[in-house]
Structure 1
Amino acid sequence: MAVGRREKNNQSRIAVAIGIGVLAGCIFAFAFPHGFFSANPPAQNRLRSKSNFEVGSSSCESTEKIDLLKSDIMRLSDKNVELKKQVRELKENIRLVEQGKDRARDQLTVSSKPTKAGPFGTVKGSRTNPPVIPDETVNPRLAKILSKVAVGKELIVCLANSNVRAMLEIWFTSIKKVDIPNYLVVALDDPILDFCESNDVPVYKRDPDEAIDTVGKTGGNHAVSALKFRILREFLQLGYSVLLSDVDIVYLQNPFHHLYRDSDVESMSDGHNNMTAYGFIDVFDEPAMGWSRYVHTTRIWVYNSGFFYIRPTVPSIELLDRIADRLAKEDAWDQAVFNEELFFPSHPGYDGLYAAKRTMDIYMFMNSKVLFKTVRKDARLRQLKPVIVHVNYHPDKYPRMKAVFDYYVLGMKDALDPFPDGSE
């Protein structure tokens, strides 16, 4: 009996112990759902940690943005300094252009950046001056016409009055035959204006100017030639390059396909061979000087002021101003003044013109002396087809122009034969 009672008591104790264990487990489970040593912190702790991380990250990003902004400010500040420097240089260049004295030298000094000379034989100076900024306020009506007529900001320009009507007809007929689109006649009187309009020739008549109109309507070749320098200035101010043409010229090819455009003035020559056209050394002999009797000189035959290509640059405009001013004050030939201003160097009491110039090929841009004295008598040269022929050496201009047109355009091989080399 005693043994049975003890076993009973032991079982009761075990049952109580199990019950207490189960109860304690339930209580701990409720109080610590994630356990004492859980790898995942409570949600509140996680939120707090996340908040702290975002604050730190935001702080780092703000610092980087501030550094970038500072860098941008420094870069823009440097750029602003450079722009201010360029503005100052531009203002200085404008001041020098307006100053009018020693223009070319001063512009070169201010606007050019010093450079190191290259190896022997590789150094070449620049001959091409920059074009002027176009100013349409100079002549809005002409600017509108040029915008329609010019090709690539360049065109042929010819001045004409009723005295040269017959030659003008050959002039524009040859241009049309070659299919040159960019040309313009500056009509100096109303009959020429009507004549051009009736023949579908691009024409422009200036606004009334009593002094100019008097010369234009009644003047001969030389008077009209002098007038062209004043009128030509407006074309250059508007930013156009002009191939200035006298009316006694026959066009056989498009001249714009044969220009170099590397100089302020590109002109045909009155020379009749390579020496006279492009320059040569001429020896002057003075026997009275004994040992030093021989003096070497440089010579070149003059440029023809009736056919030249001129770019819209400051030296070009200065050239026109100088010529127009001298012709207004002196009884001088415009071609002589044209060459003096282009070639005479600076010397005491005189500031020379700093303009770049180029001589055209005398067999492509041919004067009538070359044609009638040399080319027509040479079987090889007769095969050449010049760009233009300028009947400048002969007073019987119209019949010789017609003969040139017949020979080169219509293929009449004997058209040039009746004429003597020179004038009778």
Structure 2
Amino acid sequence: MAGRKDKSHSARVSRVVIAIAIGVLLGCLFAFFYPHGLLRSDLPLQNRRLGKSELQVQSSSPCESSDRFKNLKADVVSILGKNSVLEKRIKDLTRELKIVEQLKDHAQKQYLALGENHKAGPFDSVKGLRTNPTVIPDESVNPRLAKLLEKVAIQKELIVTLANSNVKSMLEIWFTSIQNVGIHNYLVVALDDQTEEFCISHDVPVYKRDPDTSIDSVGKQGGNHQVSALKFHILREFLQLGYSVLLSDVDIVYLQNPFDHLYRDSDVESMSDGHNNITAYGYNDVFDEPAMGWARYAHTMRIWVYNSGFFFIRPTLPSLELLDRVAARLSQEKAWDQAVFNEELFYPSRPGRDGLHASKRTMDMYLFMNSKVLFKTVRKNLNLRQLKPVIVHINYHPDKYARMKAVVEFYVDGMQNALDHFPDGSE
């Protein structure tokens, strides 16, 4: 009996073991052929997670959704703001790099020209010195102005204009166009209290000089030409402090940043009163005198004058000498400041007179455009109308305010007929 019980017990154990083995085997087979299970979802895991998050969003309250939207919107605005700041910084750095490269090149040339004597190089390899070294800044000349310029100027450069209350309407267009372009290094020299208050109320950098009885009456009551003559006296302090100045009249509209288009290789870079290539950049004008017979033709070199209402001047000794000469003559003669400016800049040395040894460069007449070029030529030419100048100077026309507004409408607002109703010249 005992033996029969042992046999039946061992048989049951064997059947259990076999059943377990068969179960494990079947489990392995199912695991191999159906890795995702028999009841696999059609949605991938990522979608199932997304669905879960969607359910959570749907289950969240409307207030939470609104707050989240506001936060996301605020993040987007913040990112866009940082992006615009970055773009501006990149532009500023690019401009600064360009200036540094120019100054480095000029310094190397100065060192080669002013260093030890050396032999001339091969044919067509010799270049003379054009960029004179700058003066050592002297802050004792005007400490108050020196502190202001430290805040306003960029890379020791800035735009400067002189203005009194007689040109208030044009001054507003002037500084508004500058602000719209994104120029920060500019300064108004206010010649009366009203102009100073007007600039302060519009967040415009302004400087009012200390009282000076010799020039105060001219500054407060003078017209365009008298104020224009005054600038040569005032500019001297800026140069003595070591700053390069882009001198600007108020009848100018800014459409691009002029500092991106300067060469900085001369004492004076000026816009021209010329209206085409030969008048702006110079030409050989042949004078005919038939009575001379064989020698009837005499060749003359001609160039239309530089405009004393828009020029870039570096703080060099020749530049300071130019300002001194012009200011001295204007205080003694009844003369037009632009005529004196050009005579001192261009007339050569001769018996009884030492000419000014200042280097000069003529600006591109289509970038730095006078109003004769605009109204006589550019507005009538379909190709030239597509160009965008750096500035437009309304120097040839007396209806300055109206034409300045029209320039803004044409180039900024896109009104294609804004210039059409004006005559070429003055009526």
**1:197 — aligned with what?**
200
Equivalent residue in structure 2 for 1:410, among 396, 410, 413: 413
Partners of 2:169 and 2:192 in 1: how far apart? 15
Residue 276 (1) aligns with residue 279 (2): yes
> Structure 2: 5+ residue runs without aligned partners?
1-109
Q: What is the TM-score of this pair, normalised by structure 1?
A: 0.74
CA deviations on 1:323-349 (whole Å, 9 max, x unpaired) are 000000000000000000000000001
Equivalent residue in structure 2 for 1:209, among 200, 207, 212: 212
**2:132 — aligned with what?**
129
Partners of 2:417 and 2:175 in 1: how far apart? 24
Deviation at 1:111, TM superposition (A): 5.0
Equivalent residue in structure 2 for 1:156, among 148, 156, 159: 159
**Aligned residue identity for 1:206:** R
> What is the aligned residue count?
317
**2:353 — aligned with what?**
350
Equivalent residue in structure 2 for 1:252, among 247, 252, 255: 255
**2:320 — aligned with what?**
317
Q: What is the TM-score of this pair, normalised by structure 2?
A: 0.73
CA deviations on 1:48-98 (whole Å, 9 max, x unpaired) are xxxxxxxxxxxxxxxxxxxxxxxxxxxxxxxxxxxxxxxxxxxxxxxxxxx
**Aligned residue identity for 1:290:** G
Partners of 1:172 and 1:115 in 2: how far apart? 50
**2:291 — aligned with what?**
288
CA deviations on 1:142-194 (whole Å, 9 max, x unpaired) are 00000000000000000000000000000000000001000000000000000
Deviation at 1:112, TM superposition (A): 4.4
Residue 170 (1) aligns with residue 173 (2): yes
Partners of 2:143 and 2:417 in 1: how far apart? 49
Residue 115 (1) aligns with residue 154 (2): no
Partners of 1:262 and 1:113 in 2: how far apart? 22
Partners of 1:251 and 1:116 in 2: how far apart? 47
SS at match of 1:167: helix
Partners of 2:218 and 2:356 in 1: how far apart? 28
Partners of 2:296 and 2:192 in 1: how far apart? 56
Partners of 1:123 and 1:402 in 2: how far apart? 48
Partners of 1:301 and 1:290 in 2: how far apart? 30
CA deviations on 1:364-385 (whole Å, 9 max, x unpaired) are 0000000000000000000000
CA deviations on 1:185-211 (whole Å, 9 max, x unpaired) are 000000000000000000000000012
Q: 1:53-72 maps to which residues of 2 (within 5 A)?
A: none
List structure 1 runs of 4+ shifted beyond 4 angstroms: none
Partners of 2:274 and 2:120 in 1: how far apart? 36
Deviation at 1:277, TM superposition (A): 0.3
Partners of 1:367 and 1:183 in 2: how far apart? 21
**2:147 — aligned with what?**
144
CA deviations on 1:247-284 (whole Å, 9 max, x unpaired) are 00000000000000000000000000000000000000
SS at match of 1:159: strand
**2:367 — aligned with what?**
364
Partners of 2:321 and 2:400 in 1: how far apart? 32
**2:337 — aligned with what?**
334
Residue 179 (1) aligns with residue 182 (2): yes
Partners of 2:295 and 2:409 in 1: how far apart? 54
**1:221 — aligned with what?**
224
**1:242 — aligned with what?**
245
**Aligned residue identity for 2:304:** W
**Aligned residue identity for 2:366:** Y
CA deviations on 1:283-307 (whole Å, 9 max, x unpaired) are 0011111110000110000000000
The 1:198/1:233 distance shift into structure 2, 3 A limit, reads same
**1:32 — aligned with what?**
none
**2:89 — aligned with what?**
none
> Structure 1: 5+ residue runs without aligned partners?
1-106
**Aligned residue identity for 1:272:** H
Residue 373 (1) aligns with residue 382 (2): no
**1:231 — aligned with what?**
234
**Aligned residue identity for 1:119:** P
**Aligned residue identity for 1:162:** S
Partners of 1:212 and 1:206 in 2: how far apart? 11
Mark the structure with the bigger radius of gyration. Answer: 1
Partners of 2:119 and 2:400 in 1: how far apart? 54
Deviation at 1:320, TM superposition (A): 0.1
**Aligned residue identity for 1:384:** L
**Aligned residue identity for 2:275:** H
Aligned-residue CA RMSD in angstroms? 1.2
Partners of 2:376 and 2:160 in 1: how far apart? 29
Q: 1:91-106 maps to which residues of 2 (within 5 A)?
A: none
SS at match of 2:246: strand
Equivalent residue in structure 1 for 2:402, among 395, 399, 404: 399
Residue 306 (1) aligns with residue 320 (2): no
